[in-house]
Structure 1
Amino acid sequence: MSKKNSEKRRHKRYVVDGIHGNVLYLSNLDILNISIEGAAIETTKRLDVNREYTFKITYKDTILNLRGRVVWALLSYREKKDSEEIIPVYRAGVMFTDTLIEKTNTLLNFIEDNKIKALEKRVGGVRFKIANSRTVKINYPHKYEVKKISLSGMLIETEYPLDLNSHYDIELYLNKNILNVVGRIAHCEKIDSHNVTKYSIGIEFIKVRDNDIKILKDFLTSL
């Protein structure tokens, strides 16, 4: 970022230490079975039991965002597609925590249009195997460390590059609070740090809830 742009910042930036969070990055998954109550999934990335994740389902002209909590998880192995290579995979059981009727109806329609067969009947309903998992993604967390922060954005370091001008859902941990913001990637620069490749990334806050703004203001005032 140029010196001229730096001088035009709307808010003072503070150097911080020990502040971190997650950039939520869309990743592929396979659905083993699904119902309106939850799903069994398989992914190449480890999922934490009792953690909530966001699942994005593209259905016709709608993007359905569903929250789900991992209730069990285990490590398994399978052959890589188009190869005999054996790779580790993680299987997990997810219980959907969204209860809005509109979301439930959209999910039900998605299952009806994509189901192959019923697998088994449980207390939470019939589980179905579906024909297409490609339209379902999981927001997987990539950790970052905050170097500088203000009311309008922050400078972070992470081991993953992020696409310029793209918008990401971001978790920011402040004083035992989890702030959920939407951020735009303003710049991304590769840096070398102790033989580990990292990236210095500038993020502009695009959307922050009023309550989270207050928490952030209180935190910056305390510095």
Structure 2
Amino acid sequence: MSSFQWFLYAFLVVYIVFSGSDAKLQRKSVVYRTIYVDPSSKGKFKTIQSAIDSVPSNNNNWICIYIKAGVYRESVKIPYDKPFIFLKGEGKWKTYVVWDNHESTATSATFTCDADNIIVKSMTFTNSYNRSPGGSGNPMRTALAAKISGDKSSFYRCGFLGLQDTLWDVQGRHYFKLCSIQGAVDFIFGSGQSIYERCTISVIASALKGISGIHNSTVKNEPQ
């Protein structure tokens, strides 16, 4: 099998596995516990992180964290020892997680996912450091919206909004479908083996303010 055939085969396997993950959770035969996050209610969880923290370490059963519409101003992290979490918002443009950390790729992400077997649906992660209305006045800096390093993670109808280094697709097999990704500089990067299906990728050119770039290419002459 040639290297190209192997590459194509591997991607088809990843696509089939990930495209079926959400469908499995929707079937009535799959039973999973649901916990709710709603800052306006008297419920147990008012933040997304507190709901994630309630999941036991080395969990091996699917747990749905249902997140009501609203703006959640917090940094959210799923640690490596909490797999099988399904984060479900009420809409890509209805459920927002917003944070404004910057400088470090390792620590600035609004959403960090280190666990395997994670599904996220219908919500948006924003790093607001350079994205305030009318311009923040902050210098352009590394400011991640999301850092994804766990294996077998999938994202459906999610938004990732930032300017520099918006989405760090660190490593692992990931599937993005109907997602919106915005940025200006290096805003999708990493070594993840990922599929982006029917996603919208937008460059915020106005944020570059006339920054010039140079394209270098090498032409290798080969016999016809």
TM-score, with normalisation over the residues of structure 2? 0.22
Greater Cα radius of gyration, structure 1 or 2: 1
More strand by share: 1
Structure with the larger RCO, 1 or 2 (CA within 8 Å, 6+ apart): 1
TM-score, with normalisation over the residues of structure 1? 0.22
